[in-house]
């Protein structure tokens, strides 16, 4: 599930980058003298990309935000190819076949409309299963 994990981490990463910083007492960014300095976690201590976030990630808000700044008009709500492009992943047939296989697709891996529609819906469901807030119309 390497491709899905990469997709998940890209969406969650954009959500974290867009989140406002936690308020601090007095508006100061630096810790007070009474607060011990905490260094950022090392890569080994950092949570895995597949960990469920503390608060649900609004998938539509993140993707709409990315779409608003993207040079190309992408229909991520309906197209798996556009969704992958939007988050900066390869949307080639080979990668879509791999993603479909990882998510349990049992039909022909031929890039057909049926495969792509199934894949888009499966990705949306998997995002929801991993703590994403996905509009119901993208799950039906």
Among 22, 129, 13, residue whose Cα is nearest residue 65 = 13
CA 88 to chain centre: 11
Residue % of the chain over a pLDDT of 70: 73
The one-character DSSP state at 25 is: G
Q: Which of 24-28, 58-62, 75-79 has the lowest mean pLDDT?
A: 24-28
CA dist 136 and 3 (Å) reads: 24
Q: Which residues contact 93 (CB under 8 A, 6 or more apart)?
A: 111
CA dist 67 and 71 (Å) reads: 8
- Which pTM value belongs to this model? 0.74
């Amino acid at each position: 599930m390497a491709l899905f994990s990469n997709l998940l981490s890209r969406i969650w990463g954009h959500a974290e980058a867009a989140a406002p910083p936690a308020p601090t007492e007095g508006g100061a960014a630096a810790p007070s003298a009474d607060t011990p300095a905490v260094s950022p976690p090392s890569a080994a201590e950092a949570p895995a990309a597949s960990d469920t976030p503390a608060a649900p990630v609004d998938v539509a808000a993140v993707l709409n935000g990315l779409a608003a700044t993207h040079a190309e008009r992408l229909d991520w709500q309906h197209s798996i190819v556009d969704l992958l492009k939007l988050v900066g992943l390869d949307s080639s047939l080979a990668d879509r076949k791999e993603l479909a296989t990882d998510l349990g697709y049992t039909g022909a891996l031929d890039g057909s409309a049926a495969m792509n529609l199934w894949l888009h819906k499966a990705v949306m469901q998997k995002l929801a299963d991993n703590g994403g807030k996905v509009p119901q119309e993208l799950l039906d």
